[in-house]
Amino acid sequence: MSEIRPTRARATRRLKLAGLVIVAAIGFLLYKGLTSAIVFFKTANEAIAQRAQLGNSTFQLEGTVLHGTVHRRGSNQVLFEIRQGGVTIDVDNTGDPPQLFRPGLPVVVVGHFVGKSDRFASDQIMVKHSQEYIAEHPNRVKGDPGSATGTHS
């Protein structure tokens, strides 16, 4: 009888330990999944000011496409510069830009800084529309008709 009690106590401790490991693993996976799913939104000047903290993490970058900077390289790469708040960032976008993409329009690009440089690698461009653009072209803008701005990708 005395041998049964230590064995049961040991088995109970093992089950509790296994349960604790499983709960910790699930908590860690939830934390990593939720934090990596968050995409940060920064303006060009905010992104440069926070360059060290952003590292190579993925975030959304906003700025206006500068005239004379849009260049196609191959069939699916577009190089251009965006500016906001007096800061200019070179963007290398892989993939087809939306039809409305052109210099002078505000855009949001999704991607990350390349290495330690201020060059931004993007794989998605969303064109932002001002209230004036929406008023002039109401049939071109998709999104909430009551919003002041819309995005088109």
Mean pLDDT for all residues in the chain: 81
User: Whole domain around residue 137: which residue ranges?
Assistant: 40-152
What's the pLDDT at 151? 43
What's the pLDDT at 40? 66
Percent of the chain with pLDDT over 70: 76
Percent of the chain with pLDDT over 90: 51
pLDDT tens digits for 14-52? 999 999 999 999 988 887 776 655 656 899 999 999 999
pLDDT band of 7, cuts 50, 70, 90: confident
Q: What are phi and psi of 113, to 5 degrees?
A: -70, 150
Residues 32 and 51 in one domain: no
Residues 26 and 6 in one domain: yes
Residues 69 and 98 in one domain: yes
Distances (CA, A) of 124 to 7, 91, 93, 128: 59, 11, 7, 13
pLDDT at 149 over 50: no
pLDDT at 95 over 50: yes
Residues 32 and 92 in one domain: no
pLDDT at 139 over 60: no
What's the pLDDT at 9? 85
pLDDT at 153 over 80: no
Sign of CA dihedral 134, 135, 140, 145: positive
Query: Which residues in the chain belong to E strands, given as ranges?
Result: 40-43, 59-65, 71-73, 77-84, 87-94, 106-113, 120-129, 150-152
Residues 1 and 17 in one domain: yes
CATH number at residue 109: 2.40.50.140
Segment 52-76 shows an average pLDDT of 92
Q: Give the DSSP H/E element, type plus range, for residue 4.
A: helix 4-37
